[in-house]
Amino acid sequence: MSTATTERLELPIEGMTCASCANRVERRLNELDGVTATVNFATERASVSYDPGTVEPERLVEAVAAAGYEAALPSAEEPAPEDAPDADPDASLRTRLIISALLSAPVLVLSMVPPLQFDNWQWLALQLATPVVIWGAWPFHRATWANLRHGAATMDTLISLGVLAAWLWSLYALFIGDAGMTGMKMTFSLVPTSGGGTDEIYLETASVVTTFLLAGRYFEARAKRRAGAALQSLLALGTKDVAVLDDEGAERRVPVSELAVGSRFVVRPGEKVATDGVVEEGTSALDMSMLSGESVPVEVGPGSEVAGATVNAGGRLVVRATRVGADTALAQIAKLVTEAQTGKAPVQRLADRISGVFVPVVIGIAVATLGFWLGNGESASFAFTAAVAVLIIACPCALGLATPTALMVGSGRGAQLGLLIKGPEVLESTRRVDTVVLDKTGTVTSGEMKLTEVALADGEERAEALRLVGAIEAASEHPIARAIARAAAAEGPLPAPESFANREGLGVEGVVDGHALVVGRPALLADWAMHLPPELDAARAAAAARGQTAIAAGWDGRARALFVVADTVKPTSREAIARLRSLGLRPVLLTGDNATTARAVAAEVGIDEVIAEVLPAEKADVIAGLQGEGRVVAMVGDGVNDAPALARADLGLSLGTGTDVAIEASDLTLVTGDLVAAPDAIRLSRATLRTIKENLAWAFGYNLAAIPLAALGLLNPVIAGAAMALSSISVVANALRLRRFKPARG
């Protein structure tokens, strides 16, 4: 093998219809020397590591084509997500489903309700069913033909054969058999009659089966399409244009794509930082929660490094760009999300895993049945009837409905409860998970700074302290100041300050009702010769031990109050942790905050294991490390910085109050934003998985029992069709039990 450096390539794959298709493409790629490939059916992409000295990228495309699918090398000028055409990729499938349903309904009614039948009604049924069988089921026929050309069989093969067998037999019965010569009378015997007998039509079977399976395929296509939306949400966080400074200091707005390393640009209050850089002029507080998930803004000034997509919450900044494009922190997080999603091995459904053997076996049994009865002197009608019965009774309607119906009912019930399940691949993970990692800020805690304590020097009144300090803080835009001002305003009206001055990074000064106030860090008060008395210093030390922020306030020459501000724990977090433990899960708190704050929060909610001071890019590594210890990990988070970890985890749960990218990168979304919904989401997912397995067990068990009966000539195709329909009804009825799922909370 060549010693050239291994390169990575993302290949978009077209034409895959089931997880077995992804496996076939993956096997074909991995047969090439110097290639290691993983194909993700959900994202329709192949992640390929290859040795460019051994294999050319074009060979990868050729290998995919040899497997029966299409691939294209990525273009360097691929359009951005926002430039993509505004089209619904599921529109064609939805149209096919609606028209098929409208045509199938009268066929079903005419076939099953004898009082509605009229002379020659079968010809009307034929005209209605034929477009469904040919056009409606065309995606199944097309995939079947493509797979057969490459010597493969999938669920599409069974669907296509079952539908076509029922329709072709109906044509035979109408144009050649007894049904066409006896005035279309619908009489039949339970067992095929040796030497001939009345032929039946199965147009309702062919059309209704097609409609049901189109509904399942439509639902699965929508779920798969949503799985790839995380990256687009991430990229949308960046700015579109930026105010660049020229050599003379004049500003001009340009697209952010024109920024280069070394460019100087302006960030005004309320604007996002355009790209990673270093502050050259100005001081401010940056809201880093979009990337770090932490609620306390970071004070920045000349020499401070800043990250793109963070929000300037204070003064005007001039920044020199140090990284642009794919090198920025935001782009790196997007890359982590993509790699984590690609790294997830596709979870094949049981039906697809078995279909590679099941389909040729069923076809072989049908052919053997035909040959056996012909060889034993039976009539062609009897032999063909028995063979068709084998194909019809093995029609995979129940197999195709087992997963989508349970998922539709389970996810529908979940939507009523504010629990969103992304797709069937999620469910297996919920059963195996043994460890749940929880982000702190915005997940276990509220993510919003609140005033938690007011400590007073001897002789001071709480109401007066809140009124004066709240008034001066109301003039500031700092998040900590806003928390104090909100709490003060809730207890009474605040006077307007007579003067106000902001001391960047330290606090504020001003005059309220004739009192000269200084509010901020104790060091700022010390500049005015105001030192904390013992009772306030003790309160400050206690707050620091809890990982909380203490703001000192003094007026008229004395330090008089201390305001403690913190990100508070959500009221339901402790209950949520207890319920997660009851499901056999081991909770772990993960945060970028300092260890003191993290341990205090963990103790309050009942978590023993804490991993603190973790950078955003390291969170996915922490998940991988836990997985390396043999744990099956669920991750609960709500911020952009959680997205790579959510994608990396075996099961990702995001809060609906979080960012879109976290929601898209997760497997389960808790719309309410309440952590106590997490155990309910896991319980519902496990119940849905259990229902799917029951459905599949019934569907396969039914086929294994019924196929021998049909092959022995003991079942008329009508009875086979009825049994097939009963199998489908049983699967749907079992799935509908999920509607009775009740949450443990509230």
* CATH code for the domain of 507: 3.40.1110.10
Domain boundary among the residues 642, 670, 686 is at 686
Angle at 274 between CA 269 and CA 278, to 5 degrees: 85
| In a shared domain, residues 386 and 479 | no
DSSP 230-260: HHHHHHTTS-SEEEEE-TTS-EEEEEGGG--
Give the end of a domain, one of 546, 568, 590: 568
pLDDT tens column, 134-158: 999 998 898 888 778 777 766 677 6
CATH of the domain at 269: 2.70.150.10
Contact 555, 516 (CB under 8 A): yes
- Does residue 441 sit within a domain? yes
Question: What is the structure's pLDDT at 190?
Answer: 41
Q: Report if residue 234 sits inside a domain.
A: no
Say whether both 197 and 308 belong to one domain.
Answer: no
Tokens 């273009």 sit on residue: 75
CA-CA distance, 93 to 99, in Å (whole number)? 10
Task: Let me know if residue 341 belongs to a domain.
Answer: no
Structural domain contains residue 520? yes
Exposure pattern of 328-342 as b/e (b: 16+ CB <10 Å)? bbbbbbbebbbbbbb
Tell me which H or E stretch contains 489: helix 479-489
Backbone angles phi, psi at 500, to 5 degrees: -150, 140
Is residue 242 within 8 A of residue 254, CB to CB? The reply is: yes
Are residues 632 and 580 part of one domain?
Answer: yes
Per-residue pLDDT reduced to its tens digit, 577-624: 999 999 999 999 998 777 887 888 898 899 999 998 887 778 889 999
In a domain, 307, yes or no: yes
What is the predicted pLDDT for the residue at 564?
92
How confident is the model at residue 181, as a pLDDT?
40
Q: 278 forms bridges with which residues in the sheet? A: 305, 320
Q: What is the pLDDT of residue 479?
A: 78
Total domain count for the chain? 5
Query: Same structural domain for residues 162 and 23?
Result: no
Same domain membership, residue 203 and residue 127: yes
Query: Which CATH number belongs to the domain containing residue 602 in this structure?
Result: 3.40.50.1000
Identity (one letter) of the amino acid at 614?
Answer: V
Whether residue 574 is found in the same domain as residue 561:
no
Q: Is 83 a member of any domain?
A: no
pLDDT at position 716 is 61
Residue in 78, 726, 692 with CA at minimum distance from that of residue 401: 692
Taking the mean position of all CA atoms in its chain, how far away is CA 684? 16
Say if 336 falls within a structural domain. no
Phi/psi at 130 (nearest 5 deg)? -60, -45
Q: Are residues 460 and 548 both part of a single domain? A: yes
Bridge partners of residue 71, in order along the sequence: 13
* Closest C-alpha to 590, from 659, 639, 658, 548: 639
Give the angle subtended at the CA of 741 by the CAs of 740 and 743, to the nearest 5°: 135
* Whether residues 508 and 600 fall in one domain: no
Structure tokens at 606: 């009942």
Active site residue 439: yes
Q: What is the 3-state secondary structure (H, E, C) of 57-125?
A: HHHHHHHHHHCCCEECCCCCCCCCHHHCCCCCCCHHHHHHHHHHHHHHHHHHHHHHCHHHCCCCHHHHH
Task: Kindly state the tokens that stand for 683.
Answer: 């319980």
| Cβ 605 vs Cβ 633: under 8 Å | no
Range of the domain at 456: 446-568
Q: Which of 276, 352, 439, 638 is catalytic?
A: 439
State whether 654 and 678 are in the same domain: yes
**One domain for residues 439 and 580:** yes
Last residue of a domain, one of 543, 568, 593: 568
Residues 6+ apart with CB under 8 A from 52: 2, 4, 5, 7
List, as own/partner pairs, every contact residues 472-478 make where C-beta atoms lie below 8 angstroms and the sequence separation is at least 24, other chains included. Answer: 472/497, 472/500, 472/508, 472/510, 472/512, 472/517, 472/519, 473/508, 473/519, 475/500, 475/508, 475/510, 476/500, 476/502, 476/508, 477/269, 477/313, 477/314, 478/285, 478/297, 478/313, 478/314
What pLDDT shows up at residue 624? 92
How many separate helices (H) and strands (E) can be counted in the chain?
Answer: 26, 26
Q: Are residue 127 and residue 213 in the same domain, yes or no?
A: yes
The answer on 210 and 267 residing in a single domain is: no
Nearest to 653 by CA among 344, 422, 338, 330: 422
Please state, as a whole number, how many other Cβ atoms lie within 10 Å of the Cβ of residue 577: 25
φ and ψ at residue 231, rounded to 5 degrees: -65, -40
Residue 211 within any structural domain of the chain: yes
Assign residue 55 the CATH number of its domain. 3.30.70.100
Please list the ranges in the chain whose pLDDT falls under 50.
1-3, 76-86, 179-198, 223-224, 226-231, 292-293, 336-337, 340-341, 343-349, 352, 718
